[in-house]
Amino acid sequence: MKRKVVCMLMLLAAALFAWPVLAQNNEAGVRVIVIDAGHGGSAFPGAVYGGVKEKDINLAVALKLGALIEKELPTVKVVYTRKSDKALGKSLNEDLTARANIANEAGGDFFISIHANAAPKATSVQGAETIIMGESAKETKYNEEVLYDNNKDELIDMSDENTAAMVRAYIQNLQFTYGEYSEMMARIMQSHYQKGGRKVRTVKRQLLKVLYATDMPSVLTELGFMSNKSELAYMNSEKGQNAYARMLCDAVKEYVGHIDRLAGVSTPVVAAEPAPQTPAEEPKAQDSKAQEIAKPQPAVEKKVEPKSEDKVQSGYTIQLLASDKKISSKDSQFKSYRSKVECYVGGGVLKYKYCYGSYPTRQAAQRDLAEVKRSFKDAFVVRYEGGNIVK
Ligand SMILES: [Zn+2]
C-alpha cells in the first residue's frame, strides 16, 4: 500500500516536472494563429452602444488583422473562428466551445480573441486591456462592475466544487505549459496599443471559458470601451480599425520573433507597406513608425529547413501509468486495457508512458477519461507527437 502511494507520488512528480521548458506548441515556432472575432449572429451581438454592435467591430478588426498577418508573415497560417456575422452555436456554451474546437483542430500555436469592452456605469473609463486565463486573487469591486457586467456569461462557474477543483488544477498546469507565453503575448500587445497611442490598462487574469478550452497559448483582448464615446467612435471607424489591426499585427510579429529565438527557427517576415496616405489628419509620423516597427526581424542564427514533421502523427491520448522500464502491453497491471496500451517516451525518471487511445482533440480524450479513471484513477490526458509525449 505504502509502495503504491510512493509510486503515485512519483508519477505525479514526473507528470509535473516532465514539461519541457518550451511549450510543445512552440518548438517549431509559430505556424498557425487562430483569430477569434468575439460574439456574432443575431443571438450574440455582444455589447451594443449607439446602434454599434460589438460583434461587428470585433469581426472588422479580426479580418484586417488576419489579412496583415497573411501578408507580412507569409508562412504563418491564419485560421478564423468566423469570417462573417454568425453565431457558432445555439447556446453561449456551445458557441464558445465551437470556437475553441476550431482552434484546437487547426493545431493553433496561438489564439487571439478580439472583443470590445463596456462599463455601463462609468462612461469615462477607457483603454485597451488584455486578459489571460487565470484566477485573480483580488478581483476588485471595480472589476466586478466593469468587466463582469460584460463578460459574466463567458466566465467559468466556480460554484461547483468539482469544476472549481479541475479548473484550479488546470491553472496550476498552465505555468508549466502555456501560461508564460500567454502572458508574454498579452504584455507585448499592451505595449503595442501604447505605441499606437491608445490608453492602456493592465493585463488581467480571468476564468474565461474560451481561453480554458483552447489548448494553446491564448489571450482575449478588449480593444477599448464602447461605453466611452470617443473610443467607440474610434473603434467604429475604418481608420481606427486599421490602426488596431496594425498594432495587433506588430504585436504578433514581435511575439513570433521571441518564439523563433527560443526555438532556434526563423519565420520569414515581409515588411509592412507604409500606411496609406489619407489626405487629411493622418499624422506623418505614423508612416515612419509603421515602417520602423515592421523592419525585418534580426536574422536568427540558426536557419532550419521547412519542417517535415507535419507528417508526424500527433494528437491526444490518456496516460494510465509511467515506468522507468519497458512493460509488455499484455502485462496484467494494465487490467482491462491489456494489449490496448501504447508506449510513448516522455520526460522524467519514469520515462515510459503507457497510454490508451488516440484522439484529435483534448476534449475528445477528456470524454473517455472518466471511464479510464474507473481502472486508473490518476489517469490524465496528454499530447503526443510521433512516439513522444510532449505535454
Ligand atoms: Zn465581448
Q: What does the block give as the cell for 317? A: 491520448
- CA 145 / ligand 1 centre spacing (Å): 15
Residue type, 254: E
What is the C-alpha to C-alpha distance for residues 220 and 116, in angstroms, rounded to an integer?
10
Q: How far is the CA of 37 from the centre of ligand 1 (A)?
A: 9
Nearest by Cα to 55 from 235, 301, 199, 230: 235
14 CA → ligand 1 middle, Å: 39
**How far apart are the CA of 151 and the centre of ligand 1, in A?**
7
Res. 49 pLDDT band, cuts 50 70 90: very high
In the prediction, which pLDDT does 271 show? 85
pLDDT at 15: 40
Provide mean pLDDT across the span 257-264: 85
> What's the gap in Å between 152 CA and the centre of ligand 1?
10
Q: Mean pLDDT over residues 71-80, rounded? A: 95
The pLDDT of 130-139, averaged and rounded, is 72
pLDDT in tens, 213-256: 788 889 999 999 999 999 999 999 999 999 999 999 999 999 99
Give the mean model confidence (pLDDT) for residues 313-336: 85
181 three-state secondary structure: helix
Summarised one tens digit per residue, pLDDT across range 149-173 is 556 677 777 777 777 777 776 666 6
Residue 69 pLDDT > 50: yes
Coil vs helix vs strand at 303: coil
Indicate whether 260 pLDDT > 50.
Answer: yes
pLDDT bin (cut points 50, 70, 90) of residue 7 is very low
pLDDT score of 359: 86
Q: According to the model, what pLDDT value does residue 389 have?
A: 87
Residue 172 Cα to ligand 1 middle (Å):
26
State the distance from the centre of ligand 1 to the C-alpha of 54, rounded, in angstroms: 7
When mean pLDDT is compared across 97-106, 136-145, 351-360, the lowest value belongs to 136-145
Q: How far is the CA of 386 from the centre of ligand 1 (A)?
A: 38
Q: What local confidence, expressed as pLDDT, does residue 16 receive?
A: 40
**pLDDT for res 154:** 75
Give the lowest-confidence range in 119-133, 192-206, 276-290, 338-352. 276-290
* Ligand 1 centroid from CA 117, angstroms: 6
- Ligand 1 centroid from CA 219, angstroms: 13
When the pLDDT of each residue in the chain is averaged and rounded to a whole number, the result is 79
Residue bearing the bigger pLDDT, 25 or 94: 94
Task: Tell me the CA–centroid distance for residue 194 and ligand 1, in Å.
Answer: 21
- pLDDT at 301 > cutoff 50: no
pLDDT at 171: 66
What's the confidence (pLDDT) of residue 82?
97
AA letter at 210: V
Q: How far is CA 343 from CA 178, 242, 321, 324, 327, in A?
A: 25, 50, 10, 12, 8
Q: Give the pLDDT of residue 295.
A: 38
Q: State in Å: Cα 334 to ligand 1 middle.
A: 47
Q: Which CATH class is domain 7-17+312-389?
A: alpha beta
Range of lowest pLDDT (66-70, 101-105, 311-315, 357-361):
311-315
**CA 66 to centroid of ligand 1, rounded, Å:** 19
Average the pLDDT over 110-127 and give the result.
92
Q: How many whole angstroms from 243 Cα to the centroid of ligand 1?
A: 19
CA of 364 to the centre of ligand 1 (A): 27
120-159: buried (b, 16+ CB within 10 Å) or exposed (e) per residue?
eeebebbbbbbbbbbeeeeeeeeeeebbeebbeebebeee
Fold entry, domain 29-293 = Aminopeptidase (3.40.630)
Please identify every residue whose CB atom is under 5 Å from ligand 1, which is an ion.
38, 46, 115
**Segment 293-304 mean pLDDT:** 38
49 Cα–ligand 1 center, Å: 13
Q: 120 alpha carbon to ligand 1 midpoint, in Å? A: 14
Distance 100 CA to ligand 1 centre (A): 15
Structure confidence at residue 302 as a pLDDT band (50, 70, 90): very low
If one compares 360 and 276, the residue with the highest pLDDT of the two is 360
Q: Give 33: exposed, middle or buried? Use CB within 10 Å, 0-12, 13-18, 19+.
A: buried
Comparing 58-67, 199-208, 309-318, 336-345, which segment has the lowest mean pLDDT?
Answer: 309-318
Residues 87-108 pLDDT 10s: 999 988 889 889 988 998 898 9
CB of 351 closer than 8 Å to CB of 322 = yes
Mean pLDDT value across residues 307-331: 76
The domains of the chain are located at 7-17+312-389, 29-293
